[in-house]
Amino acid sequence: MTATPSTPTLKDLAHQWQDHSYAFLDESSKRELRRTMLKAVALPGYQVPYASREVPIARGWGTGGLQATLSLIGPKDTLKVIDQGADDSVNAANLRRFVSRMTGVATTTDATAATLIQSRHRVPEEILGERQVLVLQVPDPEPLRSVEPDISIARQMHADADYGLMWLKLYEQLVRYGRIVQGASYPSLVHGRYVISPSPIPRWDVPKLHQARHLTILSAGREKRLYAVPPYTDVRPLEFDDIPYAVEDQSGHTCFRTGVTQKFMNELPQDDGSALFELSDAGYGEKILNAAEGDGPAPERTYFNDEGRFYHDGYLK
Amino acid sequence: MTVTSSNSPSHSHGADIKVVPLQAPRLTTEAPILTARGVSRQFGAVTALKDVDVTLYPREVLGIVGESGSGKSTLLRMLNLEDQPDSGDYTLSLPEYAGQNLFTLTRFERRQLRVRHIGIVYQNPYLGLRMKNSSSGNVAERLVLAGERTFATLREAGKVSLAASEFPLTRMDDPPIQLSGGMQQRVQLAKAIALRPALLLLDEPTTGLDVSVQALVLDTLRRLRRERGMAMIVVSHDLGVIRTLADRVMVMRHGQVLEHGLVDQVLDDPQHPYTQQLVHAKL
């Protein structure tokens, strides 16, 4: 029995023979991770423990994100790796090279062209779509750690949805500094049930997870725990009734390369004491510059428009 | 004899004697706010509590005295639902928990009950306070756990409660670690009374404070009791504290109640040999 040309055989579907496992991890490890991720998607925001294998980078350098990426990736994927918004920093370049060597997948710096994005501490500015997965590297998955040092008790508190103490943390910041100073990992309630520590993405990026079209996987390799924000799921930053959540104020900052405003900026201090601002999302900046020269696709719609308005009306007060 | 009990047989002979029925003290005609029956707890070979009964009436202060290791603090931990006994019943006369044995509550229900209806002041402020948070934040913790989510309300409630425990409001945002022992106890007290609990538990509230500060804290407690009419249980080995604060007293030893009664009755006319020894063991 021979297959007709229109029906692909197993041989056509399988990747080429290699002397190492496809995507580095052995099949059972990947299967375990995929099961973990399914569980995490089924329980939005719940921290699911997993085995966390050895990978050839040190714990704390994105092993959690890397393992999630390696077990999700397939031959037809396109990969983008972000490190604090940049595609070319050491961490991002190493991870991208490693994954592409172990899988042979195409890589890109264009957030909308990638199917799989591994990121350290940023969500791209352009709106991600339904067929995309964002993997975030997480150093500390436990939002309750600062108020409850005992992990067993913290788990009970998660089980009881007993999150009152998180407001105590915000209260302390308001009393001490007169405003909320939590710049990253802003505690957020997912699907009205579990509070997560959304990796250390800035406050600017947290709303992007709310009712997002893409799937977000947050994976902590050192702490061996993984959680997810599935597509179209509510993510609400914790706030007081009389003090609404606010993202970082980017007004008055203009990217000196692209002229873009109202995006998350990096501040570059100058010798004369002034500062220049530059888009933190390097891939987006590159896309704008290329498009201006007629060399590449036009940038797509962003989460925050040029007036700084968020794309979900009424979500940010 | 003009006063005699109505069911006493002595009046049957003299018809000319006017019988005035004995009236129980007003305190005891009301339903008790707290009833614990047969509370026992064993830690391995050590009997921490054996068949202890506690009854507390509205607006009453009950003192518990006894030496170290007599089970006072274990009993208080049970009453604060921090620990489970081996056997025993515990009811508080609260509308939502009427007739329910509180020892059978789930972990979550216990926590809810504790936050809303029971205030506690520990001897060691490190047990009751977050030392590096602000003092007002420590008080706000109670409200935040009870579901309050408005910053202005939390702030106001913190002020009111700290003022009620006579804490200087200029220091309300200082962390307790920077405060003196007396002030730390006041923060604990403010936190305990922030939600106007039905029951206030005091575990050696003034031990470790110097005598003048001790007197001030006791004054505050007496004033709170007068103004808010809270029922309190005070555990102390200091008979002076018990005499100042309490209406009734329970003497404990080896996890058992040896003697109980009104404070002046027990402390001025102790019946049990151990109580006699305790009362006379003054430096």
Q: Is A140 within the bounds of a domain? A: yes
* Residue partners of B11: CB distance under 8 A and separation at least 6: B4, B17, B19
Nearest to A62 by CA among A20, A94, A87, A100: A94
Task: Provide, as residue numbers in chain B, all residues whose Cβ is less than 8 Å from the Cβ of A243.
Answer: 151
Instruction: Write out pLDDT tens, residues A55-69.
Output: 999 998 999 999 999
Is A285 in contact with A292 (CB distance < 8 Å)? no
Q: Is residue A302 part of a domain?
A: no
Which residues does chain B have within 8 Å of residue A162's beta carbon, measured at their own beta carbons?
A: 108, 111, 145
| Look-up of token digits 């006994």 | B85
The CATH code of the domain that includes A218 is 3.40.50.11310
Query: Residue B64: what are its φ and ψ, rounded to 5°?
Result: -120, 120
- Mean pLDDT of all residues in A13-33: 87
In a domain, A260, yes or no: no
Cβ-defined contact of B173 to A175 (cutoff 8 Å): yes
Distance separating alpha carbons of residues A278 and A258, to the nearest angstrom: 8
- Please indicate, yes or no, if residue A196 is contained in any of the structural domains: yes
Angle B67-B70-B71 (CA atoms, 0-180°, nearest 5)?
135
pLDDT at A8: 85
What b-and-e string marks burial along B76-86, b requiring 16 or more CB atoms within 10 Å of the CB? bbbbbbeeebe
In a domain, A275, yes or no: no
The answer to whether the CB of A72 falls within 8 A of the CB of A135 is: yes
pLDDT at A84: 93
- Separation in Å, CA of A309 to nearest CA in chain B: 26
- Give the minimum alpha-carbon distance from A172 to chain B in angstroms, rounded to a whole number: 6
pLDDT at A173: 94
Cβ separation of A164 and B144 shorter than 8 Å?
yes
pTM, entire model: 0.85
Contact B240, B53 (CB under 8 A): no
Is B225 a residue whose pLDDT tops 90? no
DSSP B57-118: -TT-EEEEE--TTSSHHHHHHHHTTSS--SEEEEEE--GGGTT--GGGS-HHHHHHHHHHHE
The reported pLDDT for the residue numbered B17 is 75
Examine the pLDDT at B283 and tell me if it is beyond 60.
Answer: no
A280 in any annotated domain: no
What average pLDDT does this structure show over A31-51? 97
CA distance A190 to A238: 10
For position A4, what pLDDT does the model report? 62
The whole domain housing A176 covers 27-145+157-163+167-237
A172 is a domain residue: yes
DSSP E strands in B107-247: the ranges are: 118-121, 199-203, 231-235
Average pLDDT over residues B248-274: 92
What is the percent of chain A with per-residue pLDDT over 90, rounded to a whole number?
87
Sheet containing A194-196: order of strands: A194-196, A188-190, A235-237
Per CB-CB distance under 8 Å, the chain B contacts of A241 are 149-151
Q: Which residue of B has its CA nearest to A160?
A: B108
B3 confidence band (pLDDT: 50, 70, 90): very low
The number of helices, as runs of H, and strands, as runs of E, in chain A is: 7, 12
CA A147 to chain B, closest CA, distance in angstroms equals 9
A→B contacts (Cβ < 8 Å), by residue, are 156, 160, 162, 164-165, 167-168, 171-172, 174-176, 240-243
Pairwise pLDDT comparison (A257 vs B68), residue with the higher score: A257
Distance from CA of A169 to the nearest CA of B (A): 9
Q: How confident is the model at residue A20 (pLDDT cuts 50, 70, 90)?
A: confident
For residue B136, list chain A residues with Cβ-Cβ distance below 8 A.
Answer: 175
Give B173's contacts in chain A (Cβ within 8 Å). 175-176
CB B176 within 8 A of CB B125: yes
Is residue A2 included in any domain, yes or no? no
Chain A residue with CA closest to B149: the answer is: A240
- Residue B216, burial from CB neighbour count under 10 angstroms (0-12, 13-18, 19+): middle
What is the number of structural domains in chain A?
1
pLDDT for residue B6: 47
